[in-house]
Amino acid sequence: MRKALKRAAIAFGVGTALVTAGGAWLAAQPWGPPVELVEPGAGGTPIRLPDLVGNYYPGVGPEAGGGRRPAILLLGGSEGGLGAAADGQARLLAREGFTVLALAYYRLPGQPQRFELIPLETFTRALDWLKTHDGVDPARLAIMGTSKGAEAALLVASQRSDIGAVVAAVPSQVAWQGFDRSFAPVNTSSWSEGGKPVPYLPIKTVGWNGDIYGPSLAEAAQHPEAAIPVERIAAPVLLLCGEEDKLWPSCPMARAVKARRDAAHGGLATTLLAYPDAGHFGVGPALPEGRDVPAMITMFGGSEAGNVAARADGWPRTITFLKQALADPATTETR
C-alpha cells in the first residue's frame, strides 16, 4: 500500500503528505518518496547554480512581431525539489509561447530542509535572472505558484512593481508558520526576508490530524501582521481553488485575497475561479483524455469527476489570463 502511494505521489508531483481513506494524516516518514530533481525535457536547459536551481524553457513558436517573450517564474508547493509535475507544467506553458523558469527552492542539497525561513530573496533572484535573460521581455513578467508556492507568489508580487501577472492556485491569504519534514510546526515563519522571519500566522493545532489550518485561520484577525498585503499588487491576479479542499481552506483564503483587493484603490483586477466539487488537486493542467486518472487526485478533497472538470476548465482559462495580462503592448496597439 505504501509503495503504491509513493509511486502515485511521485507521478502526480506531490510527495510530502499522504492520507488514508479514513482521513487520518500520515506525516512523511523515512519510507516517504524522495525529493525529485528532474532533468528538463526537450528544449529545456537545466539551471544548476549555487543560488538558482531550476529548469528553463524558452517559449515555443514565433513571438508576435519577432520581439522578446513574456516570462513566467513557476513555483511548486511543499513537495519541494523540482518534480515531474512542475516540469511538465513548465513545458506546457512554453508551448503556449511563454518563457518559463520552474524553480526549486526547498529540500534540495544546499536548500532549507524544513519549510522554515525560506528566503524570499530566492524568488527575487530568480525573477531578476529571468528579466536579464536573452529573449525575455522584462516588461512582461509573471509569477505563478500552487499551494505554498502560491503563498510565496503573492508575497513576492506584493513587493515588486515589475510583475505583470500573478496566478495563485489553491492560495493562502497569510504567511504561515513553518513546519518540519514530519509536518510538525516549527517555532518560526515559513519565510524570511533580509535574514528576518516574515510575520506569520501560528498553526494552532499540534499533531497533524484532521483540520489543521481552519482553526488557525479563525484567529487571523488577531495576527493582522501575517496578512499578505495583496493590495500592493498592481498586476492582475488570478486565483483558483477547490471548495472541497481538505489540505487547507483554499477557497475561503482566496476569497479573502479577492476581498482585500476589491476594497483597495477602488478595486484591483482580480479573478477568482472556485470549483464546488474540487479539492487541493483540482488545479493545474487538464488531464489527458483517454488515460487513467491518478487515484490520488481525490486525496485532498473533491470527487474524481469534480477535480478532472476543474482542471479542464481552469487550465485554459489560466492560459487566456496570462496571454491577456502579458500581451505585447506594441502589438496590441497596432490591432
pLDDT of residue 9: 39
- As a whole number of angstroms, the distance between CA 82 and CA 125 comes to 17
Burial of 206 (0-12, 13-18, 19+ CB in 10 A): exposed
The predicted structure's pLDDT at residue 17: 33
pLDDT at 210: 63
Which residue is associated with the grid cell 481552469?
314
DSSP 82: B
Residue among 91, 101, 97, 94 nearest 62 (CA): 97
Strand positions, DSSP E, 76-207: 99-104, 118-119, 136-146, 165-169, 177-179, 185-189, 191-193, 196-197
Contact 268, 231 (CB under 8 A): yes
Residues 168-180: tens digit of each pLDDT: 999 999 999 999 8
Confidence at residue 67, expressed as pLDDT on a 0 to 100 scale? 76
Give the CA radius of gyration of the chain.
Answer: 19
pLDDT tens digits in sequence order for the chain, 335 residues long? 333 333 333 334 333 333 322 223 333 333 345 789 999 999 999 999 999 999 999 998 766 556 789 999 999 999 999 999 999 999 999 999 999 999 999 999 999 999 999 999 999 999 999 999 989 999 999 999 999 999 999 999 999 999 999 999 999 999 999 998 877 889 999 999 999 999 999 998 655 556 789 989 999 999 999 999 999 999 999 999 999 999 999 999 999 999 999 999 888 999 999 999 999 999 999 998 878 898 889 999 999 999 999 999 999 999 999 999 999 887 655 44
Residue type at position 58: P
Does the model's pTM come out above 0.75? yes
Which of 124, 171, 121, 166 has the alpha carbon at shortest distance from 144?
166
Residue 17: strand pairing partners: 27
- Where is 139: in which H helix or E strand? strand 136-146
* Distance from C-alpha of 220 to C-alpha of 223, rounded to nearest angstrom: 5
Q: Reduce the DSSP state of residue 127 to 3 states and report it.
A: helix
Place of cell 513546519: 179
> What is residue 71's predicted lDDT score, i.e. its pLDDT?
98
pLDDT for the residue numbered 33: 57
483597495: which residue's cell?
264
Contacts of 91 (CB under 8 A, 6+ apart): 41, 43, 44, 57
**Vertex 125: Cα angle to 119 and 131 (nearest 5):** 150
Report the Cα 264 to chain-centroid distance in Å: 24
